[in-house]
Structure 1
């Protein structure tokens, strides 16, 4: 079905259904048959050319089309809109940003850190507002996120996060003690010495497949040309070289503005290669669970969840009462390779299933129906960017480290202001025009990235053994944006 490192060779809807539960659900429910749009087959001229058909490109196209309906805008996507991280993620529309507020303060100052936090919180509401306005039915429900603290070491981290939120005065984080969690959620060890949690109201549950595919239809209705099965070969100021995957015809798009929005998949392009590191995150989805089981578990619709382990896990209750649950742990591959074979690691899938049952034993023997994965993008300093050079007309956004479902909306609005030459609150945010250092060449990149993953595993083991916050994690924190 797949060509290693490349596009889906069989462009049938059945092939795209296998990308993730989210895309499979779209086809199964009859909402979207996933049939690719027509490719671009001849050279053309546009005002704006967006490389990539994910949420970054689509939110940018939406913002530009709304601001100036006369702009001629093209989106070039190698497979179908939402094929990448935008159609594979955990469905958290959150205020999370890869760099902590304290880290942003150290680099950019106190006021800039507050502005970034406020922008991220506002973005959650903005996604909800626009999806309702445009009729994008994406199961948006803002129920907040719970980060469970299931050990003494994790409780220290939870209280520290709440304290940091209070210091900056923007996030409205709450600490829910053991009695509160024990009375509301069916998690192991609840009670006076059991599980507590940090609650963040600035998070919504969404169906990412419905969001990205719905947004693609909306931008088309605004006059944006969306070309699928169109592979970008290279670009330079004012020019984008492409190849239609059906028929193999090549051509050039001439455009005043070229925006690169490829996230982890950009590592395959020579001009991006060392700017982004593709790190795989994998997910599972269960069969729908009965309402009685959810009553015992305690998770409400709209709530997402995680805990304070260092090797990240994340989950949600879907609108059709499944668990969608994912996590890190798959290794980085030599040369920033991106390959469909890396999307399935049975050891990681097994670990995710076991971890989910540890979270919520009431799920019992619920069957896992879907397993999938894909690469997310990591900048060398874990600092996302929305950048645009007015001299060359070339822009770039990404490096979301898995926090991109909402951040892409902010990126789209920021890029639109930058392209249009506006001086706004968004263009003055600390991530606007931020330039991260390049990743090291191989073999240093391979060794460093995989040692980092190993270090997170060791940090979790250290905390289980000592009961105290990990010294290993503290040493790695500056390398991971904390």
Structure 2
């Protein structure tokens, strides 16, 4: 159980994402002012909408493209997540193989790794400062059941053509060279992951898209999406191509309530840690980290020396309802802090600087 001091620190922490300290926390672009007609209308100003607009503009500079964002760029999961640029699915490749065939699973897995390389290329080419560090990801196993799951996963991806260069098991000694958590007995390591500052990436991507002619309207809420038209709280946008990129907030659009499940994930961030603390924890290459428990956890060492740590916590609400207050419940964050300090006892007494959460859009069968 976290100490009274820790509980007080969590209650006093800033109730918004750590990442938002580096971007404006309000709209900075004008809303839609009048009815318009464009070639492509994209609803949602997060990664899905912005990457789509960027590549459309790169491939065809003649297109007129409008991105409509209800709040501000990066308001949703794109500006709240754990900062993992990760070559993986929510479901594993074995499930993709079962739903299709072996060759499709291999191809999809390779596409994810290639996507990591492509994002790195765009970040460099567009001059986006997002604290990119490709240190890989490490998943601990801390009991026999977790070890069996890690062994099964590595065997599965190796059967599909991966090698130790893509995913391998680490001994306890090798694990402790990278991360020193309590009760570890080993880990799985993959180099195919980068730690990033997600809000800086989303802001840089928006600027890159605008340089290529994309128009972004903030503070413009889509109230209806139909073929060829988007109704908003301000005016109507007509377009032969309409792309819904609302992810976790899709359930709030009439007629789309059940298309994606809005699942909550919660996070907190520590104050910058001392060198002495980092010497006990590790993560010298800013590896992202988690473990093989059933309840997902995830973390990273930020560029400014904090731990940003998250996991599932707030329950799914019946009927895909989204409750804004669930994102900031101190009780859920106290539980999350207890998990983090159990992994790294040296953190007990450390101040929690930020606590937050949000919804992400998950396919109801957990497949892409």
TM-score > 0.5 by shorter chain = yes
Aligned partner of 1:174 in structure 2 is 168
Aligned partner of 1:82 in structure 2 is 74
Higher relative contact order (CA 8 A, sep 6+): 2
Deviations 1:153-188 (A, max 9, x none): 111111111111210113610100122223443222
Q: Give yes or no for contact 2:16–2:354 (8 Å, CA) kept in 1.
A: no
Shift of 1:18: 5.1
Mind listing any 5+ residue stretches in structure 1 that lack a counterpart? Answer: 1-16, 244-249, 385-482
Shift of 1:35: 4.2
Q: Give yes or no for contact 2:223–2:254 (8 Å, CA) kept in 1.
A: no
CA distance in 2, matches of 1:182, 1:224: 47
SS of the equivalent of 2:53 reads helix
Aligned partner of 1:188 in structure 2 is 182
CA distance in 1, matches of 2:31, 2:15: 22
Shift of 1:284: 0.3
Tell me the TM-score normalised to structure 1 length: 0.71
Q: Give yes or no for contact 2:265–2:314 (8 Å, CA) kept in 1.
A: yes
Q: Give the aligned CA root-mean-square deviation in angstroms.
A: 1.4
CA distance in 2, matches of 1:371, 1:155: 31
SS of the equivalent of 1:278 reads strand
Q: Structure 2 matches for 1:291-302, cutoff 5 A? A: 291-302=275-286
Aligned partner of 1:207 in structure 2 is 197
SS of the equivalent of 1:275 reads coil
SS of the equivalent of 2:187 reads strand
1:349 to 333, 339, 362: 333
SS of the equivalent of 1:253 reads strand
Q: Structure 2 matches for 1:4-403, cutoff 5 A? A: 19-23=16-20, 25-27=21-23, 32=24, 34-170=26-162, 172-189=166-183, 194-243=184-233, 250-384=234-368
CA distance in 2, matches of 1:74, 1:284: 34
Shift of 1:363: 2.6
Compared CA separation, residues 175 and 50, structure 1 to 2 (3 A)? same
CA distance in 2, matches of 1:317, 1:183: 15
User: Between Structure 1 and Structure 2, how many residues are aligned?
Assistant: 353
Shift of 1:214: 1.1
Aligned partner of 2:11 in structure 1 is none
Q: Give yes or no for contact 1:186–1:362 (8 Å, CA) kept in 2.
A: no
Q: Give yes or no for contact 1:301–1:319 (8 Å, CA) kept in 2.
A: no
Deviations 1:97-125 (A, max 9, x none): 12211111111111100010000111111
Shift of 1:41: 1.8
Mind listing any 5+ residue stretches in structure 2 that lack a counterpart? Answer: 1-13
CA distance in 2, matches of 1:337, 1:260: 19
Shift of 1:196: 0.5
CA distance in 1, matches of 2:25, 2:265: 26
Q: Structure 2 matches for 1:423-438, cutoff 5 A? A: none
Q: Give yes or no for contact 1:94–1:203 (8 Å, CA) kept in 2.
A: yes
Shift of 1:42: 0.7
Shift of 1:367: 0.8
Shift of 1:34: 4.3
CA distance in 2, matches of 1:33, 1:308: 35
